[in-house]
Amino acid sequence: MTDRQHDPVPTEIQLHQKSRLLEISFEDGAHFKLPCEYLRVFSPSAEVQAARKRGEWVTGKQNVNIERISQVGNYAIQLYFDDSHDTGVYSWKRLYELGVNREKNWQVYLDRSQAADRQVADDGPLKVKLLYFVNLVDDLGRASEEVELPTSVRDVKSLIIWLRQRGGQWDAALGRTALKITVNKQFVDPDTRLTNKDEIAIVPTPH
């Protein structure tokens, strides 16, 4: 027999869209109610797995739902989420493991999410605090501000471009000298990704 033939086999799978739950019963008596958010975060799809290996977690999926389910052979199902994610094929073994390890997995996810300050969904705006130093305080008429960034601004480089597009003194002040940037008190390079509630300091330096 193959290993797949030893995998637990579900006897019933029910999708409860109103409560955003996938209910699964297995032939050994195990019974799980798995939230759609949990299944989305721990999708076995290649892109989600690769992102998690890089330390990046799917976030902002509190309201995600499953639109439909299709069976894959006699060993898995494919879940179609309403955020257009549909590449995860969940084997019976995978679903069983997600059920057994739900509490542990979810705690890991919460810890990572809280460490990242519950980063908002990828398609949502980021709210950050900007701090200005040295001559920028006089040039811009402020020492700090809290802003909501457009969805096109996701890294330090695009942030500076966006600020300069305010025109006038903004373009002049931020384009006049080289800038050093810190995010949460750590110096960063222009490609550094921004997350929700970051504190970003902009410090002009001599050429």
> What's 182's domain CATH number?
3.10.20.30
User: Looking at the structure, do residues 72 and 110 belong to the same domain, yes or no?
Assistant: yes
Distance (Å, rounded) from C-alpha 123 to C-alpha 207? Answer: 36
Amino acid identity, position 18: K
| 139 CB-near residues (< 8 Å, 6+ apart) | 169, 172, 173
Are both 56 and 75 inside the same structural domain? Answer: yes
- Return the pLDDT at 116: 52
Phi-psi category of 138—alpha, beta or left, where left has phi over 0 and alpha has psi -120 to 50? alpha
Same-domain pairing of 7 and 107: yes
Among candidate residues 196, 42, 37, 50, the one with its CA nearest the CA of residue 118: 196
Instruction: Indicate the number of domains in the chain.
Output: 2
**Final residue of a domain: which of 115, 142, 173?**
115
Give the CATH number of the domain where residue 91 resides: 3.30.2020.30
120 within domain boundaries: no
Last residue of a domain, one of 46, 80, 115: 115
Mark whether 51 and 101 lie in a shared domain: yes
- Region 32-48 average pLDDT: 93
Q: Under DSSP, is residue 60 helix (H, G, I), strand (E, B) or coil? A: coil
For residue 118, pLDDT over 70 is answered with no
| Amino acid (one-letter) located at 49 | Q
The answer on 163 and 111 residing in a single domain is no
Residue predicted with more confidence, 124 or 183:
183
- Please give the C-alpha separations between residue 174 and each of 130, 135, 157, in angstroms, as whole numbers: 13, 10, 12
Indicate the pTM of the whole model: 0.55
Helices (H), the chain: 3-6, 36-41, 46-53, 92-100, 102-115, 136-140, 156-164, 169-176
- Verify that 8 and 90 share a domain, yes or no: yes
Same domain (yes/no): 59, 143: no
Residue 7 lies in a domain: yes
The pLDDT of residue 111? 77
Domain of 12?
Answer: 3-115
Q: Are residues 155 and 180 in the same domain?
A: yes
Average pLDDT value for the chain: 87
Q: Domain for residue 189, yes or no?
A: yes
For residues 96 and 102, what is the distance between their CA atoms, to the nearest angstrom?
10
Listed in sequence order, the residues at least 6 apart from 158 whose beta carbon sits closer than 8 Å to its beta carbon are 152
Predicted confidence band at 122 (pLDDT cuts at 50, 70, 90)?
very low
Fill in the DSSP letter of residue 81.
Answer: E
- Percent of the chain past pLDDT 70, that is, above it, reads 91
Task: Tell me if 65 is assigned to some domain.
Answer: yes
